[in-house]
């Protein structure tokens, strides 16, 4: 992995008109986060890293997986085919949780989220502190700028940490957590892992309230969808959101 783009921001809620989506109304997306070679030795011995603003990262091991979805898979799209093998050549550190409203505000001084006390969805979260809710209504460009600003914080610079969005392949690999496909439970079990249309009450929820996957990553299947970059360094949306119907 390139040291100049070494920390994958796990999980940033963002909203935009992504090229592969048909957008109707508000779309909620998430941004993830990755860490550099200087930090890897610590991750090797401790597995987890916590940065200067309290964001937690877990090491994702190197390996290979079958990327994409077969035509027979429910909900699969034509742009996910053909299924092909991808090698992740080096370990990387990925955020355990989605980037929160509090974490975004610490770095940028703003909170653009729909579901916050000053957002258009304030009635949905009335009486609730939303600092630990995922930040949303952030474009891919703004997500990239967040990575840059986070990397430029004095303590992060002293530690040699640089942040970026994950690649689409890294995100899919981490979501599968060493398995051929992501968790494919029945609808009842899915509710233990993800906030979807069926259980979300039509809003986002605090990070980490559902079960993690096998690599201890939370909310990979719901709550908010996530920003990543494709092989041409263009924006791509990964994962599902609270407003999506559960598909198993």
The C-alpha atoms of residue 67 and residue 83 are separated, in whole angstroms, by 6
The C-alpha atoms of residue 195 and residue 105 are separated, in whole angstroms, by 24
The C-alpha atoms of residue 99 and residue 61 are separated, in whole angstroms, by 22
pLDDT of residue 127: 96
CB-CB neighbours of 133 under 10 Å: 25
pLDDT of residue 79: 66
Q: What is the mean pLDDT of the segment spanning 27-56?
A: 61
Residue 7 has pLDDT above 60, yes or no: no
Residue pLDDT, tens place only, 128-178? 999 999 999 989 999 999 999 999 999 999 988 889 999 999 999 999 998
Q: What is the SS3 assignment for 68?
A: coil
b/e map of 215-233 (b: 16 or more CB within 10 Å)? bebbbbbbbbbbbbbeeee
pLDDT of residue 221: 87
Q: What is the mean pLDDT of the segment spanning 220-228?
A: 91
Residue 207 has pLDDT above 90, yes or no: yes
More confident residue, 237 or 184: 237
Cβ proximity of 210 and 222 under 8 Å? yes
pLDDT of residue 242: 93
pLDDT of residue 12: 52
| Mean pLDDT for all residues in the chain | 79
pLDDT band for position 13 (50/70/90)?
very low
pLDDT of residue 248: 62
pLDDT of residue 126: 96
Length, in residues, of the chain: 248
The C-alpha atoms of residue 5 and residue 233 are separated, in whole angstroms, by 12
Give the DSSP letter string of 76-97: --GGG-S-EEEEE-S-EEEESS
pLDDT of residue 239: 86
Residue 1 has pLDDT above 50, yes or no: no
pLDDT of residue 21: 23
Residue pLDDT, tens place only, 79-129? 666 788 899 988 888 999 999 999 999 999 999 999 999 999 999 999 999
b/e map of 73-104 (b: 16 or more CB within 10 Å)? eeeeeeebeeeeebebeebbbbbbbbbbbbbb
The C-alpha atoms of residue 222 and residue 196 are separated, in whole angstroms, by 6
Residue 18 has pLDDT above 50, yes or no: no
| 52-66, 174-188, 205-219: segment of lowest average pLDDT | 174-188
pLDDT of residue 187: 65
Contacts of 24 (CB under 8 A, 6+ apart): none
| 4-18, 26-40, 47-61: segment of lowest average pLDDT | 4-18
């Amino acid at each position: 992995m390139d040291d100049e783009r070494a920390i994958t921001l796990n999980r940033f809620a963002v909203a935009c008109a992504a090229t592969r989506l048909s957008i109707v109304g508000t779309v909620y997306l998430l941004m993830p986060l990755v860490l550099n070679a200087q930090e890897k030795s610590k991750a090797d011995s401790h597995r987890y890293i916590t940065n200067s603003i309290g964001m937690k990262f877990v090491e994702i091991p190197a390996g290979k997986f079958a990327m994409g979805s077969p035509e027979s898979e429910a909900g699969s799209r034509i742009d996910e085919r053909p299924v092909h093998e991808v090698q992740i050549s080096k370990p990387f550190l990925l955020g355990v949780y989605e980037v929160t409203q509090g974490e975004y505000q610490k770095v940028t001084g703003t909170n653009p989220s729909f579901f916050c006390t000053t957002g258009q969805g304030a009635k949905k979260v009335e009486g609730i502190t939303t600092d630990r809710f995922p930040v949303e209504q952030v474009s891919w460009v703004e997500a990239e700028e967040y990575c840059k600003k986070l990397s430029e914080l004095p303590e992060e610079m002293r530690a040699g940490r640089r942040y970026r969005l994950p690649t689409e392949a890294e995100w899919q690999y981490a979501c599968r957590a060493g398995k051929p496909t992501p968790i494919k439970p029945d609808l009842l079990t899915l509710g233990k892992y993800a906030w979807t249309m069926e259980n979300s009450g039509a809003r986002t929820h605090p990070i980490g309230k559902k079960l993690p996957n096998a690599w201890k990553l939370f909310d990979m299947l719901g709550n908010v969808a996530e920003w990543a970059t494709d092989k041409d360094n263009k924006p791509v949306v990964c994962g599902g959101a609270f407003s999506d119907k559960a598909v198993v």
